[in-house]
Amino acid sequence: MVPEIYYITLSAILFTMGALGVLARRNALIIFMSVELMLNAANLAFVSFANTFQQLDGQIIVFFVIAVAAAEVAVGLALIVAIFRSKHSIDVDQMSNLKG
Amino acid sequence: MKFFLEPLTLLTFFPLVGVLVLLFLPSDKKNLLRWTALVTSLVTFGISLWVLSMFNASNPDLQLATRYPWITVAGWNIEYHMAVDGLSILLVLLTTFLTPISILSTWAAVEERVKDFMLFFLLLEVGMTGVFLAQDLFLFYIFWEFTLVPMYFLIGIWGGPRRIYAALKFFLYTMAGSILMLLAILWLGIQQGSFSVPELIEMGGIPADIQLWLFLAFAAAFAIKVPMWPLHSWLPDAHVEAPTAGSVILAGVLLKMGTYGFIRFNLPLFPEAAIQAAPWMALLAVIGIIYGAAVSYAQQDAKKLVAYSSVSHLGFVMLGLFAMNPQGIQGGILQMVNHGLSTGALFLLVGMIYEQTHTRDLKVYGGLWKITPVFGSLMLIVALSSMGLPGLNGFVGEFTILLGAWGAGMDGGVLGSVLFAGFAAAGVIMAAVYILYMFQKMFLGPEGSIVEEVKKHGHALRDLNAREIITMVPLLVFIFWIGLYPKPFFALMAPAVDKLVVILQAAMH
Amino acid sequence: MHLSETVNTGFFFLAPWIIFAPVVGLLVNIIFGGWFLKRSWGEAAVGTVASLASGIAFAVSALLAWSLSAAHGEVVVVPFAEWIHIGSLQLDWTFRVDTLSVTMMLAVSGVGTLIHIYAIGYMHEDVRFKKDEKRYQRFFVFMNLFITMMMLLVSSDSYLMLFVGWEGVGLCSFLLIGFWYDMDTLGRPSWANSNAANKAFIANRIGDFGFLIAGFIMFWAFGSFQFDEVFTQVGAIAPGIITAITLFMLVGVTGKSAQIPLYVWLPDAMAGPTPVSALIHAATMVTAGVYLVTRSAPLYSTVPAAQYVVALTGALTALFAATIAVGQYDIKKVLAYSTISQLGFMVAAVGMGAYVAGMFHLVTHAFFKALLFLSAGSVILGLERGHHHLSHHEGHQGHEGSHHEEVRRTEPVEVFDPGDMRNMGGLRKTMPVTFWLYVFGTLALAGIFPFAGFWSKDEILLDASLHYPDIYWILTLAAFLTAFYMGRQIWMVFFGEPRHEAAAHAEESKPIITIPLMVLAALALLGGGLNLPGAHTLGHWLEHTLGEIEVPEFSLMVAGVSTALALAAIGISWLVYGRNPLKAEQKDPLKKPLGFLFTGMENKWWVDEGYKWLILDNYVRLSKFLAEVIDWRFWHDWFHEKIIAGTYNWLSNIALNKYADQQGIDAFANGLGEWTKEVSASLRRVQNGFVRSYALSVLLGVVLILGYLLLK
């Protein structure tokens, strides 16, 4: 039995990687993947805690998250494709039309 | 669905069906719109007859009740509570009776924005019926205020030259009074824990000093609506500017909401305060009778004359109500109906001649009886009814009121002096003076200049046409019926009035 | 209602038909009258229907009288329907058949029917002179309505039902006085007739006010309006209350029966067509007050003070009106004041408690005054015919083509008054039948033996001489004047030479007009037989209703004095007017010797002017003041506009706008706006458009919140 602290640590590492990816990278696709990473880090934390406390809630939430993430991927990718078509670039720093 | 099929709910909200149909009709098909509204109001009248057939006249209590909890937040106990009893059944019938007649009278008079007119008229009917049926203070208040809106537009859109001014004045005056009433309603609802009128009456036990304040707050709203002297300033403006149908409904029903308010709320809810205030209310009523009659006589505008006569007539009603004996109160209620019929008819007739001549200045009229015999004869009957000729409806009401007021002025009565009844009876003479003056100036004497004036525009004055006669006939039937055989009308209200008198008498001792 | 069991024998069940018959008549004429009039026989049909209706009412009355005498005069009450029932107030439509009411019914419907028949002929000509033939129908509708209301009045079983008839006849009076509402008595366009109609209605309403008050006191004292219930309780009620009731009732009587001070409407009421003057304003309606006092005999008999007031009112009216009659020139005005005077006799009689004498005089007066009025109508028609004939004749002599133009243009210049006695003279020759009828009426009115008026007036005077000497002298003087002015009228109208072309060409009336008059003349001659001294038929008949009545012995002394005075008066009138007949344009010969007195009589003692100055003008002024100054300018314009609306506007416009608004609220609002702008300008730098920097701030935020939660 792997102690849950491992899972939590892994989750924290994954999350941090995801967060750094979002902050540091300019490529929209990469940012996208980083967000996925963060989501899955959170999923991992849910599952591990659910296992620890012997409650199903966490695992149910994970299913929801997966479903939402799938939807998000679909919409997000579509948006990225649309942006690429009009701007011929997916560099997020160039998308600053709404700046104040 | 069951909710909507309960008789009183159906009666109140049925005109909304017509509203709904009207919304989907093209606004240039004027006759279709008119017929729709007329049929709707006739069906509503039919429903009210159905309600009447189910009404048990020997039962003094509220009947055919529909009662559901409505707003129950914060411990408030507001209900949707509709019911009818002897105090209100006649007024409900009067409302549903006058509405189709008014709609019929607009056939030729309203050509602009017919659809909107009919919409507002039917909405108005919903509000008026609701006022007479609501047995929950909050519900009553909503209906009460709701009637303002359509009437405001009826005056403001289809009125005379100063319509905006008149409509605004009507609205603001009534609102000003209602706000005080709203405060009193909230006080009652919070302190007594109920908004239900019958429950509040049963509970009683409001301290005398607070009763007086509540009485005054309610009275403020109702006295403006009646209108009692000296709060009548809005009335001539509203009447003169309103279109004929609006005037009919205004005089026929809306003013009755004020007197009805007194009898439904002020008397039974605050009996001690009402007894205390009775001589003062009677004083205002008698001043109104004399003052209204005197002022009427000086008017040159036929509609204004009739408007001021309402101040005088409603004074009689108020005097009867505050006599607090069966004769006075029954006479008062009957007189509400009578005033609705005869003043309504007067407004209709004045409107019919106005449609032809476009003036209401009495100076240019004269000698019309020769040219328009049917018109003149109908006007005569209605005028006689209005001045209380025995055998017609006005007399039965006025006589019983005066008899009651005289009795209340004797030892042991609430008014304390027979002079109230004495002066009010003198008002009967003055009523003859102004009514005969109007009739003479329009129909007797040599031919007025208006006859030539109308001819110049290429068409001679004509007598009433079939539609106009049909409009008038139902009113005349009731004018004679109530005058000659008022028994069924008194029978409807007698038990309920007796119950009210018992409450008042208990408070007297 | 203890008397309500209907007697099975007799025709009492027919009682409601005294009302329904004329109602049916008027409805038929309303509905079919217009259709009738389009036919050549239309006028006859309309008139016949109306006369039949009235005739049926008379027949029913006669049947009732017969049944009543068969039932030995016992009161029969015929209930019909309920009317107003509220608490202790119990009013029904109930007919009362007793000797008193039947007497009135017979008089009303009998005289009424004769006058209806007369009117068929009279109105045929009248509508043609006045050029509105459509009004024929309306006349008979109103007449039937009047019979209805009058029958209601006399057959009622309670004061309130009586009041319905009481006001109803007032309405008919209004309608018929104002029958030619668009002209004056001479046919010129004017407000005069309609003013007279209004005057009558309003004067009557003032009287009705008294009646109403009497009714209120009565109800709260007796608890009922029903005659029997009131009368049986009389003993238990304080005399003060009964005095009040009777005096307020007297106010009603003065209105309806044209007594001082409310008599002023009756002379003006002559604006109505002559049959109306005869029926309503002489024979029937105006006697309603007398009937009311007689009906209330049990009340009046208990309060002598009130009785005296009634008697005095009547006596003074009798004298006062007689003086005015002396100074009038209009043939109908003389008769009108004579009617007021004779009503004074009746009111005095019933006031003195001589109810039978009062009722007797009421009935005989109905006969001879109707006769006089209708004969006067015949005279007027005769003159109108003469005048018509004349103008027609002249028209033909003038320009043939412009005949109508001519007439129209000349009409306003020469206004011919067919009722003015100064235009008459010598009619004895041209209208012999009318002359003799008029003489019969005059002799009856003057109280000459053996005419009806002699017997009835004598009974009143006899009663007065026994109990009220002051009233006796007043009445005797009035009787003297009566004979004098009637003599004056006869001499002026029928003797001497014609003073106007029209009088010279006057034509006698047709039989439809003169035959009813002959019936009335016979009644005027023989009517005294109703209650001859010794027999006292009417007295015994009425005793069933009024109770035992003291019958004074016939006094040769009283009868002799009054007859002698009457003859003397006629003699004096011959000296003044008969011996030297009036010439055209000549002033009244009494003007000089009487001076101011005659001017007063001529001008009706300026009572109308006085009322106008004292009451009418002030009321108009008051209502104008209330309406224009108080209600409109003060209350509507000043108070509402200036004070309520003005204050509101002032508060919102001036106060708030200039001071509070600009420096307070405005400054605050503007300041807030400026501040928001500055802050947002500095904040906009945050919105740099870089997604990653947004993400960073999200991260920082998360870290901050988490840090807070951890360190909490």
pLDDT by residue (tens digit) across A44-71?
999 999 888 888 888 899 999 999 999 9
Q: What is the ipTM of this complex?
A: 0.90
Q: How far is CA C102 from the centre of its chain?
A: 23
Residue B62 lies in a domain: no
The verdict on residue B473 lying in a domain is yes
Kindly identify which residue of chain C lies nearest to residue B422, measuring between CA atoms: C213
The residue among C645 and B133 whose pLDDT is bigger is B133
Closest CA to C338 of C322, C362, C320, C349: C322
Average pLDDT, chain C: 85
Percentage of chain C beyond pLDDT 70 is: 94
Residue C565 neighbours by CB distance under 10 Å: 20
Is the pLDDT at C407 greater than 70, yes or no? no
Q: Name the residue with higher pLDDT: C554 or C370.
A: C370
Confidence of residue C133 (pLDDT cuts 50, 70, 90): confident
Q: What number of residues does chain A have?
A: 100
DSSP state of B265: I
Q: What is the mean pLDDT of residues C259-264?
A: 90
Mean pLDDT of A4-12: 90
pLDDT at C319: 93
In a domain, B282, yes or no: yes
Q: What's the token pair of residue C567?
A: 């003859």
Domain-embedded: residue B215: no
Distance of CA B331 to the CA centre of its chain: 15
Q: What is the mean pLDDT of chain B?
A: 90
Average pLDDT for C65-70 = 87
Beta-carbon separation of B487 and C85 below 8 A: yes
Answer whether C273's CB lies under 8 Å from C126's CB.
Answer: yes
Residue C412 in this model has a pLDDT that exceeds 90: no
* Mutation target vs A (from C679, C684, C691, C696; most A CBs, 10 A cutoff): C691
B449 touches chain C (CB under 8 A): no
The number of C-alpha atoms within 13 Å of C466 and in the hemisphere containing its C-beta is: 15
**Do the Cβ atoms of A100 and C691 come within 8 Å?**
no
Amino acid C686: pLDDT:
75
Residue C644 has pLDDT above 80, yes or no: no
Residue A89 CB neighbours (<10 A)? 14
CA distance B490 to B485: 10
Residue C3: the pLDDT is 45
Is the pLDDT at C406 greater than 90, yes or no? no
Does C654 touch chain A if contact means CB atoms closer than 8 Å? no
Of B160 and C365, which is predicted with more confidence? C365
Residues 20-49 of A with CB under 8 A from C: 22-24, 26, 31
Q: Is the pLDDT of residue A99 over 80?
A: no
Report CA-CA distances (Å) from C514 to B282, B371, C116, C389, C525.
59, 34, 13, 21, 16
Average pLDDT over residues C119-127: 88
What is the number of domains present in chain B? 1
Supply the range of the domain harboring residue B323: 276-509
Whether residue B400 has pLDDT greater than 90: yes
CB C252 within 8 A of CB C287: no
- The answer to whether residue B331 is domain-embedded is yes
| Per-residue model confidence (pLDDT) at position C409 | 42
> Which chains does C contact via 3+ CB–CB distances below 8 A?
A, B
- CB distance from C681 to chain A under 8 Å? no
Q: Is the peptide bond before B390 cis (omega within 30 degrees of 0)?
A: no
CB C523 within 8 A of CB C367: yes
Mean pLDDT of C595-607: 83
pLDDT digit string, tens, across residues B254-273: 999 999 999 999 999 999 89
Q: pLDDT at position B73, please?
A: 76
User: What pTM was estimated for this model as a whole?
Assistant: 0.84
Residue C402 pLDDT grade (very low, low, confident, very high; cuts 50, 70, 90) = very low
Q: Where are the domains of chain C?
A: 12-391+428-602
pLDDT digits (tens, 9 = 90+) for C136-177: 899 999 999 999 999 999 999 999 999 999 999 999 999 999
Residue B192 has pLDDT above 70, yes or no: yes
In the complex, which subunits touch A with 3 or more CB pairs below 8 angstroms?
C
- Report the pLDDT value the prediction gives residue C85, as an integer from 0 to 100: 86
Q: Does C683 touch chain A (CB under 8 A)?
A: yes
Query: Which CATH number fits the domain A4-91, given the four candidates 3.40.50.800, 3.40.50.11540, 1.10.287.3510, 1.10.10.60?
Result: 1.10.287.3510
Residues B294, C189: C-beta atoms closer than 8 Å: no
Q: Are strands B63-71 and B78-84 parallel, antiparallel or unpaired?
A: antiparallel
H or E segment to which residue B496 belongs = helix B487-508
Top mean-pLDDT range of C449-458, C542-551, C644-653: C449-458
Burial of B74 (0-12, 13-18, 19+ CB in 10 A): exposed
**Which pLDDT score, from 0 to 100, does residue C210 have?**
93
Q: Please list every residue in chain A whose beta carbon sits closer than 8 Å to the beta carbon of residue C677.
A: none
Report d(CA C177, CA C169) in Å as an integer: 12
Q: Specify the DSSP class assigned to residue C512.
A: H
List, in order, residues 6 or more apart from B105 with CB less than 8 Å away.
B244, B245, B248, B348, B351, B352, B468, B471
The four Cα atoms C494, C440, C127, B453 give a dihedral, to 10 degrees, of: 70
